[in-house]
C-alpha cells in the first residue's frame, strides 16, 4: 500500500461525512498532509495528539483527522490549548489558525503565548485574506491590494507574522509554503519537537477570493508565485537588500532555548510545597 493511502486510512476519520469544505486547489489539504506526515514520522500515539483550531477555512482541519480535536471560537484557540497543555502536560498540543484568526482577533493571545513559552505548536495558514466569510482584508493583506472590504485598494500595511512572533519571544519560528511541501513537514516536525512555543507560518493561496479580486490567476499561478518569491534563510543571508526586495524567506527563522513555562511552574509548585512544610 502506498504511504499516502496508508496515512489516509490511519489518520483521517472514516466516520466523518466527507467531502471537506475546502475549494478545489486549496493549500489547506497540502498543509494537513504535511502535518500528518510529520506526526507519523515522529511516531506519536494518536491518543496523545490534540489538534486545536479557531474559526476559518484552515480551522476546519481538526474535524477530518483522528486525534483529540477541538474546534473553538474565532481567535482564541491558543487560550484553550494553554488550558489543555497545563492540565495534561504529556499531550502534544498543536494549534491551527488562519491569518485573520491568529493576527487580528487572536493577535493578543498569540504574542502572549509566544512570550509565555508553554509547549505548544502553532501553525498559521497565511493566505492574506478572510476566505470563509468571502474575501475581506486581513492583517496580512498587502498594501494596495483589493478585498471586498477594501474595494478601492487596501490602505494598511501588513503584519509580518514570523518576525512579529520572533520579537514576541518565541523560541522557534519557521516559515514554509504549500508549494515547498517536502520542506513543510520537516519544519512542522522540528516545531513539534521543540520544547516551548513554536510557530510555523505557512504561506498559502486563496485563488478563489484573494486571487480573483487581485487577478493573481489560478491556484497553480499562485503556487508558482510562492516558488519564485521564496528564498531559503541560508540563501537570503548571502543576498543584498536590493535582491531581497520582493522576496520572503523560508526555513527556520529562529531556534533558541528559553525557559519553558511548564518547567518554571513545576519550580513554583516545589517552592510552594516547601513553604508549606
Site size toward another protein (CB under 8 A) is 44
**Closest CB 24 distance from another protein, rounded Å:** 21
- Binding-site member from 39, 81, 170, 186 for another protein (CB under 8 A): 81
**Closest CB 276 distance from another protein, rounded Å:** 5
Pick from 165, 161, 166, 75: nearest CA to 126: 161
- Binding-site member from 62, 100, 131, 139 for another protein (CB under 8 A): 62
Residue with smaller CB distance to another protein, 6 or 271: 271
**Closest CB 73 distance from another protein, rounded Å:** 5
Residue with smaller CB distance to another protein, 83 or 259: 83
**Which residue is listed with cell 498532509?**
33
Q: How far apart are CA 155 and CA 145, in angstroms?
A: 8
Q: How far apart are CA 36 and CA 82, in angstroms?
A: 22
Residue with smaller CB distance to another protein, 47 or 243: 47
Q: How far apart are CA 8 and CA 13, in angstroms?
A: 9
**Closest CB 84 distance from another protein, rounded Å:** 4
Contact pattern for another protein over residues 13 through 42, marking x by CB under 8 A: x-xxx-------------------------
Residue with smaller CB distance to another protein, 38 or 79: 79
Q: At what angle do helices 261-276 and 77-87 cross, to 10 degrees?
A: 50
Alpha carbon separation from 222 to 98, 202, 211, 219 (Å, rounded): 18, 14, 8, 5
Residue with smaller CB distance to another protein, 11 or 210: 11
**Which residue is listed with cell 493577535?**
107
Pick from 34, 7, 70: nearest CA to 200: 34
HSE-CB at 251 with a 13 A cutoff on CA atoms is: 10
Residue with smaller CB distance to another protein, 75 or 176: 75
Contact between 269 and another protein (CB under 8 A)? yes
- DSSP structure string for 151-195: TT---SPPP-HHHHHHHTT-SEEEEEESSSHHHHHHHHHHHHHSS
Binding site for another protein (CB under 8 A): 13, 15-17, 46-48, 50, 52, 62-63, 66-73, 76, 78-88, 90-91, 108-109, 112, 265, 268-269, 271-273, 275-276
Amino acid at each position: 500500500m502506498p504511504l499516502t493511502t496508508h496515512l489516509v486510512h490511519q489518520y483521517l476519520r472514516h466516520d466523518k461525512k466527507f467531502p471537506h469544505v475546502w475549494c478545489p486547489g486549496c493549500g489547506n489539504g497540502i498543509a494537513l498532509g504535511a502535518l500528518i506526515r510529520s506526526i507519523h514520522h515522529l511516531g506519536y500515539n494518536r491518543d496523545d495528539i490534540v489538534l486545536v483550531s479557531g474559526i476559518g477555512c484552515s480551522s476546519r482541519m481538526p474535524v477530518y483527522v483522528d486525534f483529540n480535536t477541538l474546534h473553538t471560537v474565532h481567535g482564541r484557540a491558543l487560550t484553550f490549548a494553554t488550558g489543555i497543555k497545563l492540565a495534561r502536560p504529556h499531550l502534544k498540543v498543536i494549534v491551527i489558525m488562519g491569518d485573520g484568526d491568529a493576527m487580528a482577533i487572536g493577535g493578543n493571545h498569540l504574542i502572549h503565548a509566544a512570550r509565555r513559552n508553554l509547549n505548544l505548536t502553532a501553525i498559521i495558514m497565511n493566505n492574506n485574506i478572510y476566505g470563509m466569510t468571502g474575501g475581506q482584508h486581513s492583517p496580512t493583506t498587502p498594501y494596495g491590494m483589493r478585498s471586498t472590504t477594501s474595494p478601492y485598494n487596501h490602505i494598511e500595511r501588513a503584519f509580518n507574522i514570523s518576525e512579529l512572533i520572533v520579537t514576541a519571544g518565541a523560541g522557534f519560528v519557521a516559515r514554509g509554503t504549500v508549494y515547498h511541501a517536502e520542506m513543510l513537514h520537516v519544519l512542522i516536525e522540528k516545531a513539534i519537537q521543540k520544547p516551548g512555543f513554536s510557530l510555523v507560518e505557512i504561506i498559502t493561496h486563496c485563488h478563489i477570493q484573494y486571487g480573483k479580486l487581485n487577478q493573481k490567476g489560478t491556484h497553480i499561478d499562485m503556487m508558482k508565485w510562492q516558488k519564485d518569491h521564496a528564498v531559503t534563510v541560508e540563501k537570503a543571508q548571502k543576498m543584498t537588500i536590493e535582491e531581497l526586495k520582493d522576496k520572503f524567506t523560508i526555513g527556520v527563522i529562529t531556534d533558541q532555548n528559553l525557559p519553558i513555562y511548564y518547567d518554571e511552574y513545576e519550580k513554583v509548585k516545589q517552592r510552594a510545597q516547601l513553604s508549606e512544610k
